Amino acid sequence: MPSATLSPSVGAESTRALWWRASIDILPLSISVIPWGILCGALALQVGLSPLQAQLMSLLVYAGAAQLSATTLFGAGTPLLPIMGSTFVITSQHLLYGFTFRRDVLPLSLRWRASLAFFLTDEMFAVALKDRERSGRFDPAYALIAGFVFYLFWNLATLLGIAAGQYIDGLDQMGLDFAIAATFIAMTIPAMKNLPMVAATLVSGAMALLTKPLLAEVYIIISALSGMLVGYVLHRMRR
């Protein structure tokens, strides 16, 4: 992880203040993901992964919903290629996130861009985008710190799930997956401040419901692109 002190964005704001601000901003989402991480750790044990393998999955793959999907498919004996395809589809929204910050990260070094790419999650994107809207510029150090803090919470939650999963049967049946929906609701509602955002959210949701039964493997991409298109058109019309 590159040092925040090396970032050109850290000037008037001290490194300590930046760490504090980014950590506080990502904290609510970090807490909300704890049940999700516990579920991921416990489920990994149930499908036959060792505690070390389960933890390494969160440390190295670090993909949230894609981890849960891959773990479930692995437990069902699914071949590697379909697992990789499923993971790609589920995480495809990261391509959209990358396009959003493309102009901001192009001037950065490869080390910074690689670090930001690794720590990029839905939660880190939401927090970094809100900070950019608030300050008028993208702060790579802020985004990286927020992503790193979230990464720590995710891995600690996974570790807790691994530990609990060895002693508590049926942990995956306790409704911990509610955290997935709760986390995305917490990220979406604050962003619905104008007509384009509201329309984009509603269209994405409606398209997801309509296309999932017919296009189960690509409905996420279709619904996301549909929402973005509607939001973009309405945004241009208002200018």
Q: Minimum mean pLDDT among 7-21, 67-81, 194-208: which range?
A: 7-21
**Contact assessment for residue 142 and residue 24, using Cβ atoms and an 8 Å cutoff:** no
pLDDT for 173: 66
Q: What are the C-alpha distances in Å from 227 to residues 41, 65, 94, 127, 129?
A: 33, 21, 15, 20, 17
Q: Decide if pLDDT at 66 tops 90.
A: no
The pLDDT of 197-217, averaged and rounded, is 83
Whether residue 68 contacts residue 194, with contact meaning beta carbons closer than 8 Å, is answered with no
Would you say 29 and 183 are in contact if contact means Cβ atoms under 8 Å apart?
yes
Separation between Cα atoms, residue 204 and residue 161, nearest integer Å? 32
pLDDT reported for residue 4 = 46
Q: What is the dihedral of CA 200, 201, 203, 209, to 10 degrees?
A: 150
* pTM of the predicted model as reported, rounded to 2 decimal places: 0.77
**pLDDT value, residue 1:** 67
Q: Which residue has the higher pLDDT, 68 or 108?
A: 108
- Count of Cβ atoms closer than 10 Å to residue 158 Cβ: 27
Question: Which is more confident, 9 or 74?
Answer: 74
CA distance 27 to 198: 25
pLDDT band per the 50, 70, 90 thresholds, residue 43? confident
Neighbours of 25 (CB within 10 A): 20
What is the chain's mean pLDDT, rounded? 83
Q: Which amino acid is at 80?
A: L
239 or 226, greater pLDDT:
226
Contact 9, 18 (CB under 8 A): no
Going by pLDDT thresholds of 50, 70 and 90, the confidence category of residue 143 is: very high
pLDDT band at 199 (very low <50, low <70, confident <90, very high): confident
- Asked if pLDDT for residue 116 goes beyond 70, the answer is yes
Among 7, 27, 221, 35, CA closest to 123: 27
Position 103 scores a pLDDT of: 92
Q: What percent of the chain stands above pLDDT 90?
A: 33
What dihedral angle (degrees, nearest 10) is formed by the CA atoms of 127, 185, 44, 91? Answer: -60
Sign of CA dihedral 56, 59, 63, 65: positive
What pLDDT, on the 0 to 100 scale, is given for residue 168? Answer: 73
Q: Which pLDDT does position 162 carry in this prediction? A: 92
Range 49-71 average pLDDT: 89
Is the distance from CB of 224 to CB of 96 less than 8 angstroms? yes
Average pLDDT rounded to a whole number, residues 44-49: 87
Integer Cα distance of 102 and 232 in angstroms: 17
Q: Residue-wise over 52-77: b if at least 16 C-beta within 10 A, else e?
A: eebbebbeeebbbbbbbbbbbbbeee
pLDDT band at residue 86 under the 50/70/90 scheme: confident
Mean pLDDT of 113-118: 94
